[in-house]
C-alpha cells in the first residue's frame, strides 16, 4: 500500500489567477487543491478599488464549476494615489483581505506600482490602524543592483525602515528567496510573516541554465543559489508559524515565455500541494507540512482554519507537457516529468 498523508484542506496565500480566458483555464487547478486563495491584483489595469475587486471576484466565481466551494480572497494594488478612504472601504468590505505593494517596474504588471513609499504614508497608516495586511514584492528595481541581490537590498533599504515606521502594520514578505529574508522575518515582530513558493523550495538557480537557458524556471524574485534554498527549507520545516504557503503560481502563455524576452512566472497550481510534499519529504519533515500549508496562513490573516481535509498518496505521476491557456498553451512546472505525490480526488 502506498503511503498517504491527510491534511486539513490547505489555502494558497499568493496566487495569480489572471482574467478572461486565462482565468477560466487555470482557476480550477487552484480550486481543486485549496479552499481559499489570496488573489493577486496585478491585472491590466490593476485592481485598485473595492468596486474593481468585487467585479473581479464575481468573474472568478462565474467560471468556477458549480459544485466548487473555493473562496477567492481579494486584494488591492497599492498605488501612490491610494486614498485612506479606499483602505477603510476595503477593511469594511469583508471582501478585501490585503493590499499588495509592488515597487514600480520590479516585475510583471508593476508599472503602476509605488515609486516612493513615502507617498503612501496615509494609506499605510490606515492599514496599520485597521489591521489590513501589506503584501510585499520585496525587490529593488535598481539596475545597479545585481538581480540576485535585489531581495536583500530591498530588505536593507526599504523593509527595515518600513517596519520601524509602522510597527503594528501586518506585513507579509511574499515569495522569499534568500537567507537574508528568513533572518529578517525571524527577527521581526509577530506581525511580520512570509510566504514561500514550491519552486524556491525545490530548485536553485542552476535550474535556469541546465544544459541551456530554461525560460520556464524564470520567475521574480529569481531562483537563488543552493545555500539560500536550504535556508528556506529550514525555515518552512521548523514549524515556525511565520512561514506559510503561497505558490505565486503565475501562468504565462508558452509563446511569451519561450521568447527572446521571456516573461517572469512559474505555473505550479496544477500540482502545488504535491510539489510542496516533495520538498518537505526531501527534508524528512512531512509532519511539518500541515501547519505550513493549512494552519499558519489562516491564523495570520485572522481567518478560521478549514475544517475539510485532503489526502496525498505517495504515487508517482507525470505532469502534462502543456495545458490549455485560453487560445494558447502554458508549460507547467515539472512538465512531462514525474511528481512523487498525488492529491486524491475528493470523494
Ligand atoms: O515571476 C513572477 N510572476 N513574479 C511576479 O512578481 C509576478 C508574476 C506574474 O504576475 O507573472
Ligand atoms: Zn506573485
- DSSP bridge pairs for 74: 39, 96
pLDDT (mean) for 217-227: 98
pLDDT (mean) for 2-25: 97
pLDDT (mean) for 305-316: 98
- DSSP bridge pairs for 317: 339
Contact (CB, 8 A) for 208 and 229: no
Give the position, in ligand 1's atom list, of the atom nearest the Cα of 102. Answer: 6
The residue nearest atom 4 of ligand 1, judged by CA position, is 220
Does the bond joining 271 to the residue before it have cis omega, within 30 degrees of 0? no
Cα 118 to averaged position of ligand 1 atoms, centre (Å): 24
**pLDDT, position 346:** 64
The set of protein residues with a Cβ atom below 6 angstroms from ligand 1 is: 16, 42, 107-108, 137, 219-220, 250, 264-265
Residue 283 DSSP one-character state? T
- pLDDT of residue 156 exceeding 90, the answer is yes
Cα 249 to averaged position of ligand 1 atoms, centre (Å): 8
Give the DSSP letter string of 208-252: GGSSS--GGG--SSPP--HHHHHHHHHHHTTT-TTEEE---B---
Does residue 248 carry a catalytic annotation? yes
**pLDDT, position 106:** 87
pLDDT (mean) for 79-104: 97
- For residue 342, give the 3-state DSSP assignment: strand
Total structural domains within the chain: 1
pLDDT (mean) for 18-29: 98
State how far the Cα of 47 lies from the Cα of 42, in Å rounded to an integer. Answer: 7
**pLDDT, position 22:** 98
What mean pLDDT, rounded, does the chain reach? 97
pLDDT (mean) for 128-156: 97
- pLDDT of residue 220 exceeding 90, the answer is yes
Note the ligand closest to the C-alpha atom of 197.
2
In which band, very low, low, confident or very high, does the pLDDT at 337 lie, cut at 50, 70 and 90? very high
Give the DSSP letter string of 93-148: HSSEEEEEE-BTTSSTT-TTSBS-GGGGHHHHHHHHHHTPPEEE------TTS-GG
**Residue 286's CATH number:** 3.20.20.140
State how far the Cα of 34 lies from the Cα of 160, in Å rounded to an integer. Answer: 32
Angle between the N-to-C axes of helices 226-236 and 179-187, in degrees from 0 to 180, rounded to the nearest 10? 30
Give the DSSP letter string of 252-277: --HHHHSSTTPPP-B--GGGHHHHHH
In which band, very low, low, confident or very high, does the pLDDT at 107 lie, cut at 50, 70 and 90? confident
pLDDT digits (tens, 9 = 90+) for 24-78: 999 999 999 999 999 999 999 999 999 999 999 999 999 999 999 999 999 999 9
**pLDDT, position 109:** 86
**pLDDT, position 2:** 85
Q: Are strands 192-196 and 243-245 parallel, antiparallel or unpaired?
A: parallel
pLDDT (mean) for 79-87: 97
pLDDT (mean) for 169-195: 98
Note the ligand closest to the C-alpha atom of 18.
1
- The number of beta carbons lying within 10 Å of the beta carbon of residue 267 is 27
Count of residues making up the chain: 347
**pLDDT, position 347:** 47
Q: Candidates 107, 176, 198, 208: which one to mutate for ligand 1, based on the most atoms within 8 Å of Cβ?
A: 107
For residue 193, the enclosing domain spans 4-343
User: Residue 241 to residues 72, 92, 182, 186, 297: CA-CA distances in angstroms?
Assistant: 22, 27, 13, 10, 8
**What sign for the dihedral angle of Cα 252, 264, 203, 208?**
positive
- For residue 54, give the 3-state DSSP assignment: helix
pLDDT digits (tens, 9 = 90+) for 158-177: 999 999 999 999 999 999 99
**pLDDT, position 108:** 80
pLDDT (mean) for 82-102: 98
Amino acid at each position: 500500500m502506498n503511503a498517504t498523508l491527510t491534511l486539513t484542506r490547505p489555502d494558497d496565500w499568493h496566487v495569480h489567477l489572471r482574467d478572461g480566458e486565462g482565468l477560466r483555464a487555470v482557476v480550477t487547478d487552484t480550486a481543486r487543491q485549496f479552499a481559499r486563495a489570496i488573489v493577486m491584483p496585478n491585472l491590466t489595469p490593476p485592481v485598485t478599488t473595492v468596486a474593481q475587486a468585487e467585479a473581479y471576484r464575481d468573474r472568478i466565481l462565474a467560471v468556477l464549476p458549480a459544485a466548487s466551494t473555493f473562496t477567492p480572497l481579494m486584494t488591492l494594488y497599492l498605488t501612490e494615489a491610494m486614498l485612506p478612504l479606499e483602505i477603510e472601504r476595503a477593511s469594511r468590505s469583508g471582501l478585501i483581505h490585503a493590499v499588495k505593494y509592488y515597487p514600480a517596474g520590479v516585475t510583471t504588471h508593476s508599472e503602476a506600482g509605488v515609486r516612493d513609499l513615502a507617498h503612501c504614508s496615509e494609506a499605510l497608516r490606515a492599514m496599520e490602524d485597521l489591521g489590513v495586511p501589506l503584501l510585499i514584492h520585496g525587490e529593488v528595481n535598481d539596475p545597479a543592483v545585481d538581480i540576485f541581490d535585489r531581495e536583500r537590498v530591498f530588505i536593507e533599504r526599504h523593509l527595515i525602515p518600513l517596519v520601524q515606521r509602522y510597527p503594528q502594520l501586518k506585513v507579509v514578505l511574499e515569495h522569499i528567496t534568500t537567507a537574508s529574508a528568513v533572518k529578517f522575518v525571524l527577527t521581526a515582530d509577530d506581525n511580520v510573516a512570509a510566504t514561500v513558493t514550491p519552486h524556491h523550495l525545490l530548485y536553485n538557480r542552476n535550474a535556469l541554465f541546465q544544459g541551456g537557458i530554461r525560460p520556464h524556471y524564470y520567475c521574480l524574485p529569481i531562483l537563488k543559489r543552493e545555500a539560500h534554498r536550504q535556508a528556506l527549507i529550514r525555515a518552512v520545516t521548523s514549524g515556525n508559524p511565520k512561514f506559510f504557503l503561497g505558490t505565486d503560481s503565475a501562468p504565462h502563455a508558452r509563446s511569451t515565455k519561450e521568447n527572446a524576452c521571456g516573461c517572469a512566472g512559474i505555473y505550479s497550481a496544477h500540482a502545488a500541494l504535491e510539489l510542496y510534499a516533495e520538498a518537505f519529504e526531501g527534508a524528512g519533515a512531512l509532519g511539518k507540512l500541515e501547519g505550513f500549508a493549512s494552519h499558519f496562513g489562516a491564523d495570520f490573516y485572522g481567518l478560521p482554519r478549514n475544517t475539510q481535509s485532503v489526502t496525498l498518496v505517495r504515487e508517482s505521476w507525470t505532469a502534462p507537457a502543456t495545458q490549455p491557456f485560453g487560445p494558447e498553451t502554458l508549460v507547467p512546472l515539472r512538465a512531462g516529468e514525474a511528481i512523487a505525490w498525488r492529491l486524491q480526488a475528493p470523494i
